[in-house]
Amino acid sequence: MPTLVAIPNDPISAYLRKGEIKERYFNPGLLFDEVHLITLADRDVAPAEVQALAGPARLHIHPVGRPSALDLAGYFPRVDRLVRRIKPDLIRAHNPWLAGALAVHAARRAGRPAMVYLHIENDQRRLFDRRLRFRLIRPLEFYSLGRADLVVCVSRFLEDYARRYGARRVATVYNKVYTEQFFRPPPDGFHRPPRLLYVGRLDPQKAPEIIIRAAAGLDVELTLIGDGSDRARLVELAGRLGLAERVRFIPSVPHAQIHRHYHQADIFALATHYEGFCIPVLEAMASALPVVASDTQPLPEILGQSGLIVPKTAEAFENAFRRLLAEPELALELGRAARERAAGLDGAIMERREVELYRRLLAGKGAP
């Protein structure tokens, strides 16, 4: 069986800390007998702690040090040497920046195919986040996307961005949510008081303050699952709005337990400035929750007609919440439609699609 090298976004310790250890994440369809993770960190976790990521395959984790401007040039030969020693059949990177550039460079030197995953529309991100470093890394996007044998987008929305940066072969595979984990019987009605749920980072991109402000005028409880740079500010905001007793902050929940929180909720909400996909939205859909989401692509693409799409304002979200609370049959209908749509995007379907792409690359056929 073949061997995979993957260069993830973050150290594996970060995946573990956030509870994002998912079965077969780096070994779809158990296609690989050996999985090597090259992480841009000085040290990382022991493979035994995260074996689930590779299924039964032999898992190796190779920290190659944290990147810095002073030794960036040395990264490429360092990774090249490691890849030549491993002799993989395929190299996979999880962003089009340094990870992607390292992957396509090493793949070309080793004569192996490289695939780069796209999770964010970075031009959209740059409109919101004006930090200089996001402009300076644009050449890496052109380099990695233009030289990858295949660019895998996690939504169709990302395909245009990939092609603008030179991608020759593009395929879409939605992020995998295995809907059976989230299945629940249709609810009998709302809790008293009704429960709103937000799952995501607490940072400026996700704009969770919009959800908090929208809840302020309603007799509801709100749970926010996630952590980030804005947590202290959001806790202070909830207190200032008189919501301290009705807003609960949970820093993280292991993936194996996250479905329980969806099952205890009545409405899921997400306001965000930019996205590439959004796993919590699909998890909420799989849980038959009515979803209120901002009109930020690709959220409308994911939801189809199964949720309420509104502008990114507290007033718009509050009005949507009021509508659902006043029309429980609409909430139930949207939840059923969301569950049906999520089943059509099930992780098993996406995994089979991903395996097909891998097999074609391994056979030298490119993307279908």
- How confident is the model at residue 72, as a pLDDT? 76
Q: Which residues contact 178 (CB under 8 A, 6 or more apart)?
A: 346, 347, 348
Angle at 365 between CA 363 and CA 368, to 5 degrees: 125
- How confident is the model at residue 185, as a pLDDT? 84
Q: Which residues contact 34 (CB under 8 A, 6 or more apart)?
A: 1, 3, 4, 57, 58, 60
- How confident is the model at residue 366, as a pLDDT? 62
pLDDT in tens, 136-171: 889 999 999 999 999 999 999 999 999 999 999 999
pLDDT < 50 regions, the chain = none
Per-residue CA distances from 95 to 47, 117, 127, 308, 325 (Å): 22, 6, 19, 30, 40
Structure tokens at 200: 């995501």
The full set of domains in the chain, from first to last, is: 3-177+347-362 (3.40.50.2000), 179-344 (3.40.50.2000)
- How confident is the model at residue 364, as a pLDDT? 86
Closest CA to 145 of 111, 176, 99: 99
**Exposed/middle/buried for 135, CB within 10 Å: 0-12, 13-18, 19+?**
exposed
Number of H helices, E strands in the chain: 15, 13
Angle at 162 between CA 161 and CA 164, to 5 degrees: 65
- How confident is the model at residue 20, as a pLDDT? 85
- How confident is the model at residue 367, as a pLDDT? 57
DSSP 179-209: GGGG--PPPSS--SS-EEEEES--SGGG-HH
Do 358 and 365 form a contact (C-beta atoms < 8 A)?
Answer: no
Amino acid, single-letter form, for residue 138: R
The four Cα atoms 308, 310, 312, 316 give a dihedral, to 10 degrees, of -100
Is 338 in a helix, a strand, or coil? helix
Residue with tokens 């949510």: 177
Amino acid, single-letter form, for residue 96: P
E strands in 207-314: 221-225, 247-250, 267-270, 291-294, 308-310
Q: Which residues contact 187 (CB under 8 A, 6 or more apart)?
A: 266, 288, 332, 335
Give the span between the Cα atoms of 103 and 162, in whole angstroms.
Answer: 17
Give the span between the Cα atoms of 114 and 293, in whole angstroms.
Answer: 35
